[in-house]
């Protein structure tokens, strides 16, 4: 799990967060960077053996028409607008990598320190606004244009542009990019010659793995070199083989073999696995597979990351007993075995014999245990769809609990992560789908398709289709079905309607005030209807462009009594407000009239405002 700020973690727990997405392309000293809404669509998929992305950009201004980005490195960053306060730049001050500032005269953008140093003694830099470009400050300090003020991002591992396509359809101009990551590139690196080790060779798995990755071993010294980082920490178990086991003449490389397959084959001996890091390095990790400390937890309860849909799957490990022995002619003869306990008790099934260059019975048992652990990690355990989690990484140790299934929990490691942002549809999408174990069509195909919307006056996350609506659509689609089949289907639908819980009970109702240019003035700012009955649980305000103060009153009335007035206020004396800041939240709502009936109309009236040009007010409500 990539490190996230407390603000990002908190925002991801509620339905109404504000998405941000960034793509920065670089080649040498040339940089091109883009944000939403120039990014109209992006889908990024990370798997145990690949990383790919497909991105569609708005080209209505011909931004990409003469721009050829094939071969550029692309860094995709998923993000959330949290409204975090940024400090203004200060002269003659030491800054560290990762520090973020805004100009002394704010220009809507924030700047991240990407090379530590001390700012100029007297002169503030000239702050450019092209995303991803750099600005020199003092002797060594470098700032990079990071995004809009108040946004927070988590970078994915780098990818490279393999294809670019321009489309002109019905007066809409778009540009498509297809990118692939480190493992995809390694799969196309081929050994230039055979490599054979002697029986006396003392290279360990770690030594061999590093030499293949960094291209110092002869068959791959024509390839790009990748630095290897071996992850460690209190939460990660120690791999007792990677530093010790020496495959000797068991290991060889054949001419024409891909570098990825060679690395994968080396890891077959040990418990560790690999993933591309957002630092550009190849990481090796022995995944955490037990305990109660999770990288992420998902449920329908408060104070956890919500999920929209999930499939719970159990699968036997077959074979579930592995035996490793010495090679046929090696002396002395060693052997050791390991079982996947639950599966072996239900349906015993031995593996074919594994024969390796080994030095003890204990080493045989350890290798057998590593093979079983990988089989258990690879087994499909389920799949879930949720509002975006911008920090998820391969091999994260995750727990999903479903209160609708009597609090059944599924715990596992992520081997498939699928993130999407889509602004092209009526209800835009910002979501993550992930699987425990290797993805399989049988598991993915059972998940009901969900759109996680980011629509309305601002962005709110919700489930567009309930299970009931999905099956009603099915019934409409297959309206030619006749006889008993159709009758039974309708009976099942009636039953489903009575017992299926609606997942989208909690939603965000956003309303944007101000154009971001002129100061907001006092008075009525707008009105809209609420089409469903609900109860207000919280109110949040966010001013993305500047710090200031604002007080907003909310008036409610029926259609028959339009237009509401101040006498119809629902906020009592606890009006939503920001005071010399950029955000506020109220979950107490003292004195509020919290119940809204289906068809009620809300008016948003600004009582006062200072130094704010745009503000989003969002009501978090629960449908009743």
Whole-number pLDDT of residue 366: 95
Query: Are the C-beta atoms of residues 148 and 132 closer than 8 Å to each other?
Result: no
Closest C-alpha to 513, from 607, 590, 596, 406:
607
Measured CA angle at 46 (ends 41, 49), to 5 deg: 140
- CA–CA distance, 259 with 265 (Å, rounded to integer): 10
How many C-beta atoms surround the C-beta of residue 3 within 10 A?
8
Closest C-alpha to 207, from 257, 237, 246:
246
State how beta strands 73-81 and 151-155 pair. Answer: antiparallel
Averages of pLDDT over each 10 residues, the chain, 624 residues: 90 79 97 95 95 96 95 97 94 98 96 98 96 97 96 97 93 94 98 96 97 98 97 85 95 97 96 97 94 90 78 81 94 95 93 94 96 89 89 94 80 94 84 83 40 34 36 41 41 40 66 88 91 92 93 95 93 95 94 93 95 93 87
- CA–CA distance, 382 with 416 (Å, rounded to integer): 11
- CA–CA distance, 352 with 191 (Å, rounded to integer): 29
- CA–CA distance, 54 with 307 (Å, rounded to integer): 24
How many C-beta atoms surround the C-beta of residue 47 within 10 A?
19
Whole-number pLDDT of residue 515: 82
Closest C-alpha to 324, from 292, 346, 305, 351:
351
Whole-number pLDDT of residue 499: 35
Whole-number pLDDT of residue 16: 67
Whole-number pLDDT of residue 311: 74
Render the burial of 85-106: b for 16+ CB within 10 Å, e for the rest: ebeebeeebebeeebbbbbeee
Whole-number pLDDT of residue 447: 42
CATH of 506-623, one of 2.60.40, 1.10.260, 2.60.120, 1.20.1050: 2.60.120
Cross-strand bridge partners of residue 52: 45, 180
3-state secondary structure 507-524: EEEEEEECCCCCCCCCEE
Whole-number pLDDT of residue 496: 39
Terminal-residue alpha carbon distance, the chain: 36
Query: Are the C-beta atoms of residues 358 and 326 closer than 8 Å to each other?
Result: yes
Report, in angstroms and rounded to the nearest whole number, the Rg of the chain calculated over CA atoms.
28
- CA–CA distance, 186 with 223 (Å, rounded to integer): 9
Closest C-alpha to 18, from 503, 618, 420:
618
Whole-number pLDDT of residue 557: 95
CATH of 187-285, one of 1.10.10, 3.40.50, 3.55.50, 1.10.12: 3.55.50
Render the burial of 514-528: b for 16+ CB within 10 Å, e for the rest: beeeeebeeeebebe
- CA–CA distance, 180 with 160 (Å, rounded to integer): 5
C-alpha dist (Å) from residue 287 to 49, 212, 365, 412, 433: 16, 22, 19, 10, 20
* Residue 530, Ramachandran bin (φ over 0: left; ψ between -120 and 50: alpha; else beta): beta
Per DSSP, the residues of 25-74 read: EEETTEEEEEETTTEEEEEEEEETTEEEEEEEEE-TT-TTTT---TT-EE
Q: What angle do the packed helices 467-477 and 483-499 form, to 10 degrees?
A: 160
Query: Are the C-beta atoms of residues 541 and 576 closer than 8 Å to each other?
Result: yes
- CA–CA distance, 349 with 32 (Å, rounded to integer): 55
Whole-number pLDDT of residue 305: 86
Quick check: do 187-285 and 506-623 share a fold? Answer: no
Whole-number pLDDT of residue 169: 86
Domain layout of the chain by residue ranges: 16-182, 187-285, 321-378, 469-499, 506-623
Query: Are the C-beta atoms of residues 518 and 606 closer than 8 Å to each other?
Result: no
The H or E element spanning position 184 is helix 182-186
């Amino acid at each position: 799990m990539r490190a996230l700020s407390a603000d990002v973690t908190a925002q991801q727990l509620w339905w109404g967060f504000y998405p941000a997405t960034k793509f920065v392309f670089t080649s040498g000293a040339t940089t091109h960077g883009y944000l939403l809404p120039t990014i109209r669509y992006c889908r990024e998929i990370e798997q145990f053996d690949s990383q790919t992305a497909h991105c569609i950009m708005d080209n209505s201004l011909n931004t990409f028409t003469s721009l050829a980005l094939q071969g550029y490195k692309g860094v995709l960053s998923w993000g959330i607008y949290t409204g975090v306060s940024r400090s203004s730049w200060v002269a003659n001050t030491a800054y560290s990598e990762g520090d973020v500032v805004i100009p002394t005269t704010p220009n809507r953008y924030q700047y991240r320190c990407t090379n530590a140093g001390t700012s100029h003694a007297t002169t503030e830099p000239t702050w450019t606004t092209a995303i991803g470009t750099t600005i020199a400050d003092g002797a060594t300090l470098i700032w990079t244009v990071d995004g809009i003020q108040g946004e927070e991002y988590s970078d994915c591992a780098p990818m490279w542009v393999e294809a670019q396509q321009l489309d002109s359809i019905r007066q809409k101009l778009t540009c498509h990019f297809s990118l692939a990551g480190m493992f995809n590139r390694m799969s196309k690196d081929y050994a230039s010659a055979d490599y054979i080790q002697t029986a006396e060779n003392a290279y360990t798995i770690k030594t061999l793995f590093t030499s293949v990755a960094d291209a110092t071993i002869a068959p791959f010294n024509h390839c790009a070199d990748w630095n290897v980082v071996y992850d460690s920490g209190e939460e990660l178990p120690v791999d007792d083989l990677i530093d010790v086991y020496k495959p000797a003449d068991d290991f060889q490389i054949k001419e024409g073999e891909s570098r990825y397959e060679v690395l994968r084959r080396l890891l077959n001996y040990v418990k560790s696995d690999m993933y591309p890091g957002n630092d550009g390095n190849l990481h090796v990790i022995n995944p955490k597979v037990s305990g109660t400390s999770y990288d992420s937890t998902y449920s329908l309860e408060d104070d956890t990351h919500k999920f929209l849909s999930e499939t719970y799957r159990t699968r036997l490990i077959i074979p579930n007993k592995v035996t490793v022995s010495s090679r046929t002619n090696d002396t002395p003869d060693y052997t050791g075995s390991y079982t996947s306990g639950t599966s072996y008790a239900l349906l015993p099934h031995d593996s074919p014999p594994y024969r390796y260059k080994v030095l003890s019975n204990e080493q045989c048992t350890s290798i057998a245990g590593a093979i079983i652990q990988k089989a258990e990690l690879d087994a499909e355990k389920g799949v879930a769809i949720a509002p975006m989690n911008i920090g998820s990484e391969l091999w994260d140790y995750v727990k999903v609990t479903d209160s609708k299934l009597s609090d059944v929990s599924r715990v596992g490691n992520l081997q498939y992560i699928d993130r999407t942002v889509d602004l092209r549809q009526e209800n835009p999408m910002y979501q993550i789908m992930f699987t425990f174990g290797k993805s399989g069509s049988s598991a993915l195909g059972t998940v009901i398709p969900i759109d996680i919307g980011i629509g309305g006056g601002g962005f709110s996350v919700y489930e567009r289709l309930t299970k009931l609506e999905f099956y009603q659509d099915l019934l409409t689609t297959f309206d030619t079905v006749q006889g008993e089949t159709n009758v039974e289907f309708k009976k099942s639908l009636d039953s489903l309607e009575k017992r299926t819980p609606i997942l989208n009970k909690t939603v965000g109702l956003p309303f944007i005030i101000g154009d971001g240019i002129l100061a907001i003035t006092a008075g009525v700012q707008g009105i809209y209807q609420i089409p469903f009955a609900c109860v207000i649980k919280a109110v949040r305000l966010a001013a993305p462009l500047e710090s200031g103060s604002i007080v907003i009153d909310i008036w409610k009335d029926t259609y028959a009594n339009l237009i509401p007035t101040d006498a119809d206020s629902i906020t009592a004396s606890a009006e939503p407000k920001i005071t010399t800041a950029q955000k506020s939240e109220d979950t107490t709502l003292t004195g509020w009239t919290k119940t809204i009936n289906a068809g009620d109309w809300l008016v948003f009236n600004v009582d006062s405002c200072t130094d704010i040009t745009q503000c989003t007010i969002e009501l978090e409500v629960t449908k009743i």
